[in-house]
Structure 1
Amino acid sequence: MNDAVLNLRGIEKTYNKGQPGEVQVLRGIDLSVSRGEVVALVAPSGAGKSTLLHIAGLLDTADRGQVAIAGQETAGLSDARRTELRRQDIGFIYQFHHLLPEFSALENIVLPQLANGVPRRDAAERAQTLLARVGVGHRGGHRPAALSGGEQQRVAFCRALANGPRLLLADEPTGNLDPATSDQVFGALMDLVRETGLSALIATHNLDLAARMDRVVRLEAGSVVVASGIA
């Protein structure tokens, strides 16, 4: 796909290779996410979705296969170049917010921008704009412990988008929230993704949330078994 922001081809991954307990987690995965497309990755526990997201996000390497981010083939890149590509072009969201507890919500969004060379004033302005977009602009001065679970995750969304990535990877981003809060927080995430034109691959067990995305990919036993549109 020429307009693919993420392109995975023939991805294989085996743990404990050649040893007792060898487990082949991914078996020749082919998957692309187009510019502006939001794809749901639906999989049972242990099917390999987290491993796939880590490989897609250059946090792990495949045994075989190729990963391209915005047309950039990543095979053979130095660790420094992989880190740069990850910092500039990829945003991550996890089930748990992983915010730095000693910093305010605003500061948690400012810090990754400073690491990317953005002046502090510009970083703070962008952080405040992102917080306002997800409805927690008034909570920027609070530390994570003073925020509700839904507020913490909204801040984590903003942090993932702080450096203006092209690709968002999310692993059960609302899985730690109650159903009502999950629905509200996911709505805020989708609004933010649509407004910014991001491409996204979002893993979820929640079929109702999956149905709100552009396409569903189902992963079972390390293989893509269903790829479908959602009416």
Structure 2
Amino acid sequence: MSEPVLALDGVEKHFNRGLPGEVNVLRGASLVLAPGEVVALVAPSGAGKSTLLHIAGLLDTPDAGRVRICGQDMTDAGDQTRTAMRREHVGFIYQFHHLLPEFSAVENVILPQLANGVGQGAARERAMALLDRVGVGPRADHRPAEMSGGEQQRVAFCRALANGPALLLADEPTGNLDPETSDRVFAALMDLVRDTGLSALIATHNLGLAARMDRVLRLDNGLVTEG
């Protein structure tokens, strides 16, 4: 059996730890994401899905438990190791696109590649291929403010996949869009994910979108359960 792309084992996260107002967000959350698997994470508002995604993506550290990415235990890794893992193997998508407003669409997709040591020409070629794949190639030289919300989010998808990550983490990636646009944009995301063969953990409130993925996980009361 192939090594999981992501494995969380008994992850706990507490805020205001040891104080009267302590909040136990994660109470031993565990999950495994296989290569090429697209999994929905469904959770009530405030249940801790963003916290779980931040820990999975090495943006935060757990108070207990283990985090493994691509077979490497990252729980106690130093900042440089964590940064390198994120840059090379993890892509992030958020509800809001967070594109750099002063740069064009294609430049927003080029920049993370340059930071990863890719040459300008190769970075631009990959950026254009990704933008064309999601149907915004003709808008490549437009800045975010000149694009629709759906177009902006598709550019954000391309930026997240620019460095060819093994793991994609998405936090309500279509939650800021109207239902019709959300459906189109989600279809574009799924096409990208399937084409590249990466693994994805996608948090969503939309049960219709969740049903289109390989599995559904639920986060409730600090624990992850199937279905």
Question: What TM-score do you get using the length of structure 1 for normalisation?
Answer: 0.97
Query: 1:71-105 deviations in whole A, cap 9, x for unaligned?
Result: 01102211011000000000000000000000000
Q: Secondary structure at the match of 1:213?
A: coil
Cα distance between partner residues in 2 of 1:2 and 1:54: 24
Greater shift, 2-11 or 110-119, is seen at: 2-11
Name 1:77's counterpart in structure 2. 77
Q: What residue identity is the alignment partner of 2:126?
A: R
Cα distance between partner residues in 2 of 1:76 and 1:170: 24
Query: 1:117-138 deviations in whole A, cap 9, x for unaligned?
Result: 0000000000000000001010
Tell me, yes or no, if structure 1 residue 174 matches structure 2 residue 170: no
Residue 20 of structure 1 and its aligned partner are, at CA, apart by 2.4
Q: Secondary structure at the match of 1:4?
A: coil
Cα distance between partner residues in 1 of 2:126 and 2:72: 27
Cα distance between partner residues in 2 of 1:112 and 1:156: 11
Tell me, yes or no, if structure 1 residue 54 matches structure 2 residue 54: yes
Deviating beyond 6 angstroms after TM superposition, the runs of 4 or more aligned structure 1 residues are: none
Tell me, yes or no, if structure 1 residue 143 matches structure 2 residue 135: no
Which runs of structure 2 are paired with 1:94-109 in the superposition (5 Å)? 94-109=94-109
Q: What residue identity is the alignment partner of 1:32?
A: V
Name 1:164's counterpart in structure 2. 164
Over the matched positions of the two proteins, sequence identity in percent amounts to 72
Which runs of structure 2 are paired with 1:81-230 in the superposition (5 Å)? 81-224=81-224, 226-228=225-227
Query: 1:194-224 deviations in whole A, cap 9, x for unaligned?
Result: 0000100000000000000000001112112
Cα distance between partner residues in 1 of 2:181 and 2:3: 34
Q: What residue identity is the alignment partner of 2:196?
A: T
Cα distance between partner residues in 1 of 2:46 and 2:174: 18
How many matched pairs?
227
- Which segments of 5 or more consecutive residues in structure 2 lack a partner in the other structure? none
Q: Secondary structure at the match of 2:8?
A: strand
Q: What residue identity is the alignment partner of 2:156?
A: A
Question: What TM-score do you get using the length of structure 2 for normalisation?
Answer: 0.99
Cα distance between partner residues in 1 of 2:146 and 2:38: 31
Cα distance between partner residues in 2 of 1:174 and 1:60: 23
Residue 46 of structure 1 and its aligned partner are, at CA, apart by 0.6
Greater shift, 18-27 or 93-102, is seen at: 18-27
Name 2:18's counterpart in structure 1. 18
CA RMSD of aligned residues (A): 0.8
Cα distance between partner residues in 1 of 2:2 and 2:67: 14
Residue 21 of structure 1 and its aligned partner are, at CA, apart by 1.1
Cα distance between partner residues in 1 of 2:133 and 2:168: 17
Q: What residue identity is the alignment partner of 1:20?
A: P
Residue 31 of structure 1 and its aligned partner are, at CA, apart by 0.2
Q: Give the conservation status (yes or no) of the 8 Å contact 2:108–2:159.
A: yes
Cα distance between partner residues in 2 of 1:124 and 1:171: 27
Cα distance between partner residues in 2 of 1:21 and 1:75: 26
Cα distance between partner residues in 2 of 1:75 and 1:180: 40
